[in-house]
Structure 1
């Protein structure tokens, strides 16, 4: 587990600790997704599976022993040099403080992602905040952020905006991101 104090120009400093998920974190991941107000919430079982079967590629952020943020991700089998971000979430009282970028940077530092030189994610067209977050990640590492079609609206079984693929990289391992 690593700890850090997060400072933001318009918010008081927050001391967070970061670690890979553990099986018992599944319910907390689900609660953060549900409370975030911005994520498509999956079943509680989904988060239990990710916190156990993909624990090494999921990040938990804690403040005062409470899970307040998370990154749920995995290594795509067809693209081993990439790390796919499924969801980034924070409890509402932690949003807007610059923590999303720090979550992604800490997530990339997890040992299970050490061989990755690209970050990928799909982001719905109606989610400008997440689009901006991934562009900030690219700027922090001074790398490209390519956007290409991935899931078009007609691929969903219900009304849903398209989700283009964001591909960020190549990230030089060991490179320190800019603030």
Structure 2
């Protein structure tokens, strides 16, 4: 048996579809401390925002997912809403591979920047986005965006807006 994190089964990246909503909900629940959304929200992420999301599948199971969108006021920016990687998909660079797959899509042809929000203690996300910025040869900046007390009523840690760019979009690859 292969050790955890060294799966020998291939992971396929694809565009999400609405039938992924329930599996996405279950994936997020299996990836604490990610903030859960309603199943309805996950259905919208998999349908309305499919062009800027990616599903990672292994043996028919969702083992990774990134949801994102292009804000109407920022047509050159891809905002990453949430990154989830199940323990069975970890240790393979899957999250960065998913980010690059989204940015390479035709739908993101005008994207020159990536944004996301991250809490200060989310070391895995900071490492992912720093590595992505380095790979893209892009600047990374951040500032407090949603403050713990002012925006979350003390119920959630402050979120820092991280901005990467400008970068040149990678050549479109086969895949999602």
TM-score by length of 2: 0.87
For structure 1, the 5+ residue unaligned runs are 1-9
For structure 2, the 5+ residue unaligned runs are none
1:63 match: 58
- Using the alignment, how far apart are the partners of 1:49 and 1:12 within structure 2? 30
Counterpart check, 1:52 vs 2:56: no
Counterpart check, 1:157 vs 2:153: yes
- Using the alignment, how far apart are the partners of 2:12 and 2:69 within structure 1? 21
2:90 match: 95
Call closer, same or farther: CA 1:174–1:126 in 2, change over 3 Å.
Answer: closer
Report the more deviating stretch, 93-102 or 18-27. 93-102
Structure with larger RCO (C-alpha < 8 A, sep 6+): 2
Shift of 1:13: 4.6
Deviations 1:49-72 (A, max 9, x none): 111111111111111222111001
Counterpart check, 1:112 vs 2:103: no
SS in 2 for 1:15: coil
Is contact 1:15-1:63 (8 Å) kept? yes
- Using the alignment, how far apart are the partners of 1:102 and 1:174 within structure 2? 12
- State the aligned residue count: 167
Deviations 1:60-116 (A, max 9, x none): 111122211100111111111000000111112222332221121112123322211
Is contact 2:7-2:89 (8 Å) kept? no
Q: CA RMSD in A?
A: 1.8
SS in 1 for 2:67: strand
SS in 1 for 2:36: coil
2:70 match: 75
Greater fraction of residues in strand: 1
Which residue of the other structure, out of 159, 162, 169, is the alignment partner of 1:166? 162
Which residue of the other structure, out of 118, 123, 137, is the alignment partner of 2:118? 123
